[in-house]
Amino acid sequence: MSETNSALEREIGEIRRDPRALAMKQFIQHGRVTTYDHCLNVARLSSRMSKRLQSLSIRVDEHSLLRGAMLHDYFLYDWHHHEGRWHGYRHPVIAAQNAKRDFGLTNKEEAIILTHMWPLTLRHIPLTPGGLDRLPRGQMVLRA
Ligand SMILES: [Fe+2]
């Protein structure tokens, strides 16, 4: 198992096999990519970026990062027919509410989901110097 795959299994293995998360396979995110695959792809990319940053001695909260990445679009509807043009603005709040209800979220994970569309979502601003999240100084969670 690759380093990326083992991190994905360790941090989000349960979530990605949960029937509630698998429900994202019903919805197309873009082209032929389902919302589930989109979120998993973002988690994979986040894991690779995390490994790279850690190799540069930059601390990354990989657990929060990967959970936030996997749940960042957990809005559970077909955005092409629901929410219309407001989807881009509203779905981070809906995804965070759903994820909190179904999986529980830390404040960091909730912030990752709420801020992932910034600057489109002006009210949910990433607040760390890296522009990445509401985290204690010296820690970083990438936006996914
Ligand atoms: Fe999104």
Query: What is the number of structural domains in the chain?
Result: 1
Residue 12 in any domain: the answer is: yes
Residue 30 in any domain: the answer is: yes
Residue 139 in any domain: the answer is: no
pLDDT at 141: 54
Between 57 and 121, the more confident residue is 57
- Please report where in the chains the tokens 């979220």 appear, as a residue: 105
Handedness of CA 9, 24, 18, 144 (dihedral sign): positive
pLDDT at 70: 97
| Cα(32) to centroid(ligand 1), Å | 16
pLDDT digits (tens, 9 = 90+) for 71-130: 999 999 998 887 667 888 899 999 999 999 999 999 999 999 999 988 887 777 776 644
pLDDT at 55: 94
Residue 97 in any domain: the answer is: yes
| Cα(72) to centroid(ligand 1), Å | 6
Residue 38 in any domain: the answer is: yes
* Residue 15 structure tokens: 């979530």
pLDDT at 83: 66
For 90, counting Cβ atoms within 10 Å of its Cβ (0-12 exposed, 13-18 middle, 19+ buried), the class is middle
* Residue 5 structure tokens: 């795959």
Distance CA 54, CA 76 (A): 33
Residue 134 has pLDDT above 90, yes or no: no
Distance CA 136, CA 28 (A): 36
| Cα(116) to centroid(ligand 1), Å | 6
Residue 144 in any domain: the answer is: no
pLDDT digits (tens, 9 = 90+) for 11-56: 999 999 999 999 999 999 999 999 999 999 999 999 999 999 999 9
pLDDT at 86: 84
Distance CA 68, CA 140 (A): 13
Residue 129 in any domain: the answer is: no
Strand-pairing partners, residue 28, are: 34
| Cα(92) to centroid(ligand 1), Å | 6
**Residue of 105, 104, 116 lying closest to 141 (CA atoms):** 116
Do 112 and 105 meet the contact criterion of CB atoms below 8 Å apart?
Answer: no
Indicate the SS3 state at residue 28: strand
| Cα(95) to centroid(ligand 1), Å | 8
**Residue 49, domain extent:** 3-115
| Cα(54) to centroid(ligand 1), Å | 26
